[in-house]
């Protein structure tokens, strides 16, 4: 919030000083609006800005010796003895995944038991190299526990308020109890020694070709095929391009810390 707030504030100050520019105030006003818009676009859609920038300027990025990102910033290419290896990434965060200990309805258990089957089907149907990665970063147990207990307190208050009202809603009570059960299950798991984790999941695939274009085209086909295969998991799957592509590439060599992960993947809130 500091970055977004402070930079927008400076643009607003220029906007507010329109009187200083005489008849040119409209240009200053327009430029300030444009700057604020650009800051917001960078913050929320840098995956559009970065490839556009590199494509327009024809910039090739070299993330390490023997590797390069072509100007569309959609893949990382390596040339080994005339064979081109193009690597690309897809996001694959399992948003809807609920662990058995937290599950309170039968649907979730069914989803959980279907997971291994779906995974094996993906592997059988892929037919080309790919890697599913799960980066887990441990959170502070005490802070997480305090957060959960805080949430539980709020739910307890809401439940008692609902139960003591003149017309208590059965549906609301059930919903609140269900949410409390989920939180209780999480607290129990913490007591049993498990640690809360932040995570990021992604799929990486590599394609080969005798030319850069062939490798990149082949990679695009592979990623499209993986998108279809992973849709069985009900995931949000998007191709990673630009800045984030570079960071995922570096994760092959160094696992990020919690702060590095938060800096790279969270938009300014």
Residues 121-150 touching another protein, rule: CB under 8 A, are 123, 126-138
Tell me the closest approach of the beta carbon of residue 68 to another protein, in angstroms. Answer: 8
Nearest-angstrom CA–CA distance, 249 and 91: 13
Residues between 216 and 255 that touch another protein (CB under 8 A): 243, 246, 251-255
Residues between 26 and 85 that touch another protein (CB under 8 A): 27-28, 31-32, 35, 38-39, 42-43, 46, 50, 57-68, 78, 80-81, 83, 85
Tell me the closest approach of the beta carbon of residue 206 to another protein, in angstroms. Answer: 5
Of the listed pieces 147-155, 179-187, 196-204, 231-239, which binds another protein according to CB under 8 A?
196-204
Nearest-angstrom CA–CA distance, 169 and 166: 10
Contact with another protein (CB under 8 A) among 94, 104, 112, 180: 112
For another protein (CB under 8 A), the number of binding residues is: 91
Q: Which residues pair with 3 in a beta bridge?
A: none
Q: Which is nearer to another protein, 162 or 214 (CB)?
A: 214
Of the listed pieces 156-164, 169-177, 208-216, 227-235, which binds another protein according to CB under 8 A?
208-216
Return the structure tokens found at 20: 């200083």
Q: Which is nearer to another protein, 46 or 162 (CB)?
A: 46
Residues between 92 and 111 that touch another protein (CB under 8 A): 99-101, 109
Residues 222-237, buried b or exposed e (16+ Cβ, 10 A)?
A: bbebbbebbeebebeb
Contact with another protein (CB under 8 A) among 143, 161, 195, 213: 195
Query: If we measure between CA atoms, which residue out of 46, 49, 54, 44 comes closest to residue 75?
Result: 54
Count of beta carbons in the 10 Å neighbourhood of residue 30: 11
Q: Which is nearer to another protein, 78 or 172 (CB)?
A: 78
* Beta strands 83-91 and 76-80, pairing class: antiparallel
Report phi then psi at 190, rounded to 5. Answer: -65, -40
Nearest-angstrom CA–CA distance, 65 and 70: 14
């Amino acid at each position: 919030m500091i970055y977004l707030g402070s930079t927008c504030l400076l643009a607003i100050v220029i906007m507010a000083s329109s009187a200083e520019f005489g008849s040119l105030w409209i240009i200053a006003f327009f430029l300030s609006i444009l700057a604020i818009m650009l800051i917001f676009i960078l913050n929320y859609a840098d995956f559009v800005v970065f490839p556009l920038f590199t494509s327009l300027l024809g910039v090739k990025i070299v993330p390490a010796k023997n590797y390069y990102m072509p100007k569309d910033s959609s893949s990382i290419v390596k040339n080994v003895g005339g064979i081109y290896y193009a690597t690309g990434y897809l996001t694959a965060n399992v948003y809807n995944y609920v662990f058995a200990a937290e599950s309170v309805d039968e649907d979730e258990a069914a989803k959980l038991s279907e997971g291994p089957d779906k995974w094996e089907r993906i592997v059988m149907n892929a037919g080309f190299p790919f890697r599913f990665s799960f980066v887990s970063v441990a959170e502070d147990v005490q802070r997480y526990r305090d957060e959960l207990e805080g949430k539980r307190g709020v739910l307890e208050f809401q439940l008692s308020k609902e139960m003591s009202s003149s017309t208590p809603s059965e549906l609301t009570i059930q919903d609140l109890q269900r949410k409390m059960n989920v939180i209780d299950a999480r607290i129990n798991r913490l007591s049993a020694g498990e640690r809360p984790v932040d995570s990021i999941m992604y799929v990486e695939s590599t394609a080969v070709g005798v030319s850069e274009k062939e490798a990149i085209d082949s990679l695009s086909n592979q990623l499209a095929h993986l998108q279809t295969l992973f849709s069985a998991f009900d995931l949000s799957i998007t191709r990673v391009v630009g800045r984030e592509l570079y960071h995922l590439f570096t994760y092959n060599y160094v696992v990020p810390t919690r702060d590095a992960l938060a800096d790279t993947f969270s938009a300014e809130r």
